[in-house]
Amino acid sequence: MYYKVAPSLLAADFTRLGSQVQEVREAGAEYIHLDVMDGAFVPSISFGMPVLKSLRKASDIVFDVHMMVEEPGRYVEDIKKSGADIITVHAEACTHLDRVVNQIKETGCRAGVALNPATPVSVLDCILDQLDMVLIMTVNPGFGGQKFIPYTLNKVRALRQTVKERGLKTDIQVDGGVSIANVREILEAGANIFVAGSAVFGTDPAARTREFVELFKEYEK
């Protein structure tokens, strides 16, 4: 099993996005998590295609795009063209989830589906085998800096169990309130991709990234 930290750009200093991405990349982050919010699926509005496109020129880091957008299928093609490598959509935001997942795969991107805290993992029973990643939201989406919701760990455990039973290689990502203080517990529950916004960009992003990378080495041995 591999473990990766995906620093969330939402918590970065927006006056110098390119150098912030470079900083975490050089410290060992292979992914950057990019939160696209539409002000409809979630209350807030963040950034979209033009920002992704500019950043794409700054780094070869994996673009892990988390679309908090109603009916995201409308934008999948544009998000890919803006440089995405992984596109994650919310099950709750798609009337036709199967169609959107196929749209993502047709672009050549890896496909992820996100679940809000109150959405059970069983909604993915039929489509799990088609997915590269499942994102278990560990806060209600929309804002950085919120507190981790403990019961979501049970969802991580249940999903890891199902993934194992089916012999799949699905990545399990967690997002929201993840820090160096709780990452072991979440990892031991079965997650392997860890989004961290304020925990990385709050103070000294390079040092914080290295802490995650070093901790993961213990488990990869």
Catalytic residues: 35, 175
What is the number of other CB atoms lying within 10 angstroms of the CB of residue 159? 22
Closer CB to ligand DX5, 39 or 145, in the complex: 145
Q: Which of residues 13-52 bind ligand DX5 (CB under 6 A)?
A: 33, 35
Closer by beta carbon to Zn ion, 202 or else 220: 202
Place of tokens 């990019």: 34
Give the one residue of 73, 177, 190, 205 binding ligand DX5; rule: CB under 6 A.
177
- Give the pair of three-digit tokens for residue 98: 């199967």
- The angle formed by the CA atoms of residues 67, 72 and 73, to the nearest 5 degrees, is 135
- Considering only 86-94, 121-129, 175-183, 204-212, which stretch makes contact with ligand DX5 by CB under 6 A? 175-183
Using the 8-state DSSP alphabet, how is residue 92 labeled?
G
Q: Which does 11 bind (CB under 5 to 8 A by kind): ligand DX5, Zn ion, none?
A: ligand DX5
Q: What gap in Å lies between CA 211 and CA 221, rounded to an integer? A: 16
The residues that bridge with 112 in the sheet, in sequence order, are 88, 133
> Per CB under 6 A, which region of 54-62, 77-85, 97-105, 171-179 contacts ligand DX5?
171-179
Q: Which residue in the block uniquely carries the two structure tokens 């999903």?
A: 159
Interface pick for ligand DX5 out of 72, 112, 176, 190 (rule CB under 6 A): 176
Of 35 and 92, CB closest to Zn ion: 35
Q: Which is nearer to ligand DX5, 11 or 113 (CB)?
A: 11
Q: Is 205 in the site for ligand DX5 (CB under 6 A)?
A: no
The three state secondary structure string of 119-140 is CCHHHHCCCHHHCCEEEEECCC
The correct pick among 121, 175, 192, 193 for binding ligand DX5 (CB under 6 A) is 175
Is the CB of residue 172 less than 8 Å from the CB of residue 134? yes
Would you tell me which residues interact with Zn ion (CB under 5 A)?
35, 66, 175
**Closest separation in Å from C-beta 195 to Zn ion:** 5
Helix 17-26 and helix 205-220, axial crossing angle in degrees, nearest 10: 30
Q: Which two tokens stand for residue 89?
A: 């959509």
Question: Does the protein bind ligand DX5 through residue 11 (CB under 6 A)?
Answer: yes
Residue 182 interacts with ligand DX5 (CB under 6 A): yes or no:
no
Residue with smaller CB distance to Zn ion, 23 or 175: 175
Position 197 contacts ligand DX5 (CB under 6 A): yes
- Find the binder of ligand DX5 among 10, 94, 128, 191 (CB under 6 A): 10
Cβ within 8 Å of residue 171, ≥6 positions away: 112, 132, 133, 134, 192, 193
